[in-house]
Amino acid sequence: MATKKTKKPAARKAGPAKPKHVEYVLSKGSSRLLNARVDKEEIWLFVNGPAMLFGSARMLTSLDMPGGATFQAWKKLAASLSCTSLCGANGKTKIPVEVKPSRIGTSIEFSLGPMSMYQSVIVLKAKQTGVTLRQAIDDAFGNPKGAYSVVIVPEAATGHAEHDASIFQMGQPADGGHQHGEEGGGHHHG
């Protein structure tokens, strides 16, 4: 009896691993609307300095409240995200992700790292491992059926004192000194 030889399937070449993140560069003249609803687990924001150009970032959506963007949905989304600053001088720093209600609607806000740094990386991701930002966002907003967008908007620093502020107390110098714009327009350098 003749034995039939079977051909082994050719082994697939392993290609480069797909990155789990999307990268955006924040610098003078960079895009003002950054897609946050991405099929990646992380967003890396490269803040190229001086960081005092950008004080914080807001996450906004095209959804309205009846479409799912309620205050409770924003709270759920903020609770599902983590934000970290990576920079040479301060190392790894956790950054709060905060819900900010306003008359025109609710949003999420987070700092863009230490104001004194000329370069840092902000990593925004879902706390649950393996969950993409699109999944976290869709889940928080109740999996809306129609098309919608969620964007990150870098916000310009609003005051001269911010360049010495801590990342958690915007406008408040970390060292207790270097106050600008006191009443009467004077300057004080602690």
Minimal CA–CA distance to 166: which of 155, 156, 182, 177?
177
Residue type at position 159: G
Peptide bond into 173 cis (omega under 30): no
14, part of any domain: no
Minimal CA–CA distance to 22: which of 47, 7, 42, 2?
42
Task: Determine the Cα–Cα distance for residues 97 and 85; give it in Å rounded to an integer.
Answer: 12
50, part of any domain: yes
* pLDDT value of position 71: 95
**Structure tokens of 80?**
């599902």
* pLDDT value of position 80: 98
Domain count, the chain: 1
* pLDDT value of position 1: 56
Residue 111 has φ and ψ, to the nearest 5°, of -70, 160
5, part of any domain: no
Query: Residue 135 sits in a domain of what CATH number?
Result: 2.60.120
181, part of any domain: no
Other CB atoms within 10 Å distance of the CB of residue 137 = 24
pLDDT digits 0-9 by tens, 32-76 = 899 999 999 999 998 876 545 777 899 999 999 999 999 999 999
Supply the range of the domain harboring residue 72.
Answer: 21-176
Q: In what order do the strands lie in the sheet with 34-35?
A: 34-35, 150-156, 54-61, 107-111, 98-100
* pLDDT value of position 162: 44
> pTM to 2 decimals?
0.73
* pLDDT value of position 170: 44
31, part of any domain: yes
8, part of any domain: no
36, part of any domain: yes
Give the residues of the chain that fall short of pLDDT 50. 51, 160-190
4, part of any domain: no
